[in-house]
């Protein structure tokens, strides 16, 4: 007898719905399922499959299920009945609590919510056909030991709802970093987008996929091997050693980008050193090195001992300093920065310090540097989980029998490079998944892209603004809801740390849908405009108790005439509308608001404290 990994100890079943329990057995033999003092009998079909329907389960638990078949008995323990949500999208949904500890370490360290559980769907892609069932996975409750691996958004979403209603919550965690929308669409639906036909055809060639993976693995291994061999800092007298003399190294102010310095064109390694002084009362104690974010990779040492390393650009560097390593007086931090493809640097406006107990020792300022090796830029790696339809087949289709309350989605960053069909792609995701679960209005609550722009170098055309606009427009679909996060992003981090605000704002939509509340779920959403002489009057939904400007005046409003050349505009609130004008535009035609990758000055809100969505009028 075989059961889906979803049907396992600790599972959460969807309340007040039709729940399917399914598996495989011996054809044409009886199977008996016992659950909540009820017996269910079924005959395994000729193909070896069977399924049993459980209807209108009331929230609660824990309880057990027993399945008997052909002399085999399976006991499934600790089952809860509550609300099940699919967590979907890319890295910002995937980011775990462990990546948010700078903000929430104290809040989550004792987290113990056994009735909030997460099932992590294994990352699998298939370009030939949908996969029938999952091959692995298990249900994990929130405990102090497990919480750091939970989706941060999923955790804060669940905690807000569970704290109010005490109904169990199950999370089906499917998000995969870097995936574009087309990766989550079925092949049949994707064929209406001509630009994906060629790459999907290539991915159906197993030899192409396998050869590409093999050759790129070999190339990357050789690239790092050659870099290691060429790095002067790794020779007989390694530069990370405690007694290495670096008096002739040059000065550099950190944190900063290497842009505009002699290091800008270098791909390879740069070694950096910083001397710090540790007070006697802190010497020998365990600590933590908070090293902001480094571009691209790093190996980090204190006193000649490696305390951590990170192999790619995005994660914050937070390295444990073991007890006994720090000495009273002079200590030396050494960072070997590896630039694979990007201009290197220590990202600005990030924290840089050593923390011991409740004291912080700053490490920003003048560092010493020397180039270790110069090589060619590392070629990009092909990630096949990003390719069209693959993870839909491997991760979403196998969930179709599992009854859910709805979907929570955070995705779009990987479509900002080609944003012009994102509205159609995302709409196809929604319609595809609703067909898969056979629910025409399956709740689909999603996060609009936050603000982000490395080093505040705004591009001429904002792909992020186009994706946000597509997301705004799709609120017109039934049973969708959008969480605006324009105020919680970070210009210097693709993965903003404040996942609590995001999760709790998503929860507002779920509280309305699943529990009949009447929350204002969103900040102001542009609805339509009207002309008023040489001004444009903007009308909004979700104004709540009224519109407000945070600050002295409205920011990031722009206006244009029919030439569509936009100029900064004046904007004032008039009841539940905003009146926009500009001295450069006599006959106004369009208005846009927050139209940039990083519109961090956008300051239109409702009185409930929720930010307005960026938009452009048509």
**Number of domains the chain is built from:** 3
Report how far Cα 592 is from the mean position of its chain's Cα atoms. 27
> pLDDT (tens digit, 9 = 90+) per residue, 461-491?
999 999 999 999 999 999 999 999 999 999 9
pLDDT score, position 618: 87
Q: Are 84 and 172 in contact (CB under 8 A)?
A: yes
- pTM greater than 0.95: yes
Given the structure tokens 């909030």, which residue do they identify? 116
Beta-sheet pairing, 12-14 with 72-89: parallel
Which positions of the chain have pLDDT values less than 70? none
The Cα angle at residue 243 between residues 241 and 245, in degrees rounded to 5: 100
Q: 220 in a domain, yes or no? A: no
CATH of the domain at 274: 2.60.120.260
How far is 294 from 340, CA to CA, in rounded Å?
12
In a domain, 576, yes or no: yes
* 439 touches 406 (CB < 8 A): no
Pick from 1, 134, 133: nearest CA to 67: 1
Q: Is residue 176 part of a domain?
A: yes
Neighbours of 428 (CB within 10 A): 20
Asked whether residue 77 is assigned to any structural domain, the reply reads no
* Full strand arrangement of the beta sheet holding 18-24: 2-3, 18-24, 49-55
Do 529 and 517 lie in one domain? The reply is no
d(CA 473, CA 377): 40
2 contacts 24 by C-beta, under 8 angstroms: yes
Phi/psi of residue 267, each to 5°?
-115, 125
What values do phi and psi take at 292, rounded to 5?
A: 50, -130
Residue 58 lies in a domain: no
Residue the block writes with tokens 């998503």: 506
Rounded CA separation 532/554 (Å): 19
**Reduced to 3 states, what is the DSSP secondary structure of residue 33?**
strand
In a shared domain, residues 96 and 174: yes
The domain of 552 spans 525-616
The rounded distance, in Å, linking the Cα atoms of 142 and 173 is 14
- Look at phi and psi of residue 354 and say left if phi exceeds 0, alpha if psi is from -120 to 50, else beta: beta
CATH of the domain at 141: 3.40.50.1110
Q: How many CA atoms lie within 13 A of 186 on its CB side?
A: 17
Together in a domain, 473 and 352? no
pLDDT value, residue 532: 87
pLDDT at 183: 98
- Give yes or no for a contact between 580 and 569, defined as CB atoms under 8 angstroms apart: yes
Residue 603 lies in a domain: yes
Domain closes at, from 496, 522, 548: 522
């Amino acid at each position: 007898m075989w059961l889906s990994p979803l049907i396992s100890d600790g599972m959460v079943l969807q309340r007040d719905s039709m729940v399917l329990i399914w598996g495989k057995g011996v054809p044409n033999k009886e199977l008996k399922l016992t659950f909540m003092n009820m017996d269910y009998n079924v005959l395994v079909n000729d193909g070896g499959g069977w399924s049993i329907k459980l209807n209108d389960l009331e929230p609660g638990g824990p309880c057990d299920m027993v399945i008997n078949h052909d002399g085999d008995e399976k006991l499934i323990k600790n089952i809860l009945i509550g609300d099940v949500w699919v967590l979907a999208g890319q890295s910002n949904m995937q980011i775990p609590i462990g990546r948010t500890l700078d903000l929430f370490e104290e809040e989550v360290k004792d987290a113990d919510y056994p009735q909030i559980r997460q099932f992590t769907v294994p990352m699998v892609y298939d370009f030939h056909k949908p996969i029938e069932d999952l091959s692995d996975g298990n249900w994990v409750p929130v405990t102090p030991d497990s919480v750091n691996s939970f989706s941060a958004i999923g955790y804060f979403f669940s905690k807000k709802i569970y704290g109010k209603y005490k109904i169990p919550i199950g999370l089906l965690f499917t998000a995969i970093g870097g995936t574009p929308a087309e990766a989550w669409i079925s092949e049949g639906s994707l064929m209406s987008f001509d630009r994906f036909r060629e790459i999907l055809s290539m991915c159906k060639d197993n030899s192409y996929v396998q050869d590409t993976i093999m050759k790129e693995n070999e190339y990357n291994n050789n690239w790092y091997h050659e870099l290691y061999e060429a790095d002067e800092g790794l020779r007989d007298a390694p530069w990370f050693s405690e007694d290495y003399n670096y008096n002739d190294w040059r000065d550099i102010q950190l944190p900063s980008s290497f842009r505009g310095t002699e290091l800008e064109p270098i791909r390879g390694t740069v070694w950096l050193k910083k001397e710090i002084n540790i007070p006697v009362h802190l010497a020998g104690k365990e600590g933590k090195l908070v090293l902001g974010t480094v571009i691209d990779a790093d190996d980090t040492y204190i006193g000649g001992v490696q305390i951590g390393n990170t192999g790619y650009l995005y994660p914050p560097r937070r390295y444990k300093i073991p007890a006994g390593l720090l000495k009273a007086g002079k200590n030396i931090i050494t960072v070997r920065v590896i630039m694979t493809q990007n201009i290197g640097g220590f990202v600005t406006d990030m924290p840089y310090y050593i923390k011991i107990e409740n004291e912080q020792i700053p490490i920003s300022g003048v560092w010493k540097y020397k180039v270790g090796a110069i090589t060619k830029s590392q070629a990009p790696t092909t990630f096949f989980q990003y390719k069209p339809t693959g993870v839909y087949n491997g991760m979403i289709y196998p969930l179709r029998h599992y009854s859910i309350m709805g979907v929570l989605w955070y995705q779009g960053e990987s479509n900002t490079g080609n944003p012009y069909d994102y509205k159609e792609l995302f709409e196809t995701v929604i319609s595809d998944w609703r067909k898969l679960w056979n629910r025409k209005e399956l709740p689909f609550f999603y996060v609009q892209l936050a603000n982000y722009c490395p080093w505040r170098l705004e591009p001429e055309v904002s792909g992020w603004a186009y994706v946000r606009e597509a997301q705004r427009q799709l609120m017109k679909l039934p049973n969708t809801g959008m969480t605006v996060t324009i105020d919680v992003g970070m210009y210097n981090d693709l993965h903003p740390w404040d996942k609590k605000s995001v999760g709790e704002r998503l929860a507002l939509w779920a509280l309305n849908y699943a529990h009949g509340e009447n929350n204002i779920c969103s900040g102001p959403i542009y609805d339509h405009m009207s002309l008023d002489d040489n001004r444009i009057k903007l009308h909004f939904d979700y104004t709540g108790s009224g519109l407000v400007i945070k600050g002295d005046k409205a920011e990031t409003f722009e206006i244009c005439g029919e030439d569509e050349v936009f100029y900064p505009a004046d904007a004032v609130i008039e009841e539940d509308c905003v009146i926009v004008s500009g001295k450069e535009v006599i006959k106004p035609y369009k208005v846009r608001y927050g139209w940039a990758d990083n519109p961090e000055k956008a300051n239109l809100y409702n009185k409930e404290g929720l930010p307005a969505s960026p938009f452009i009028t048509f």
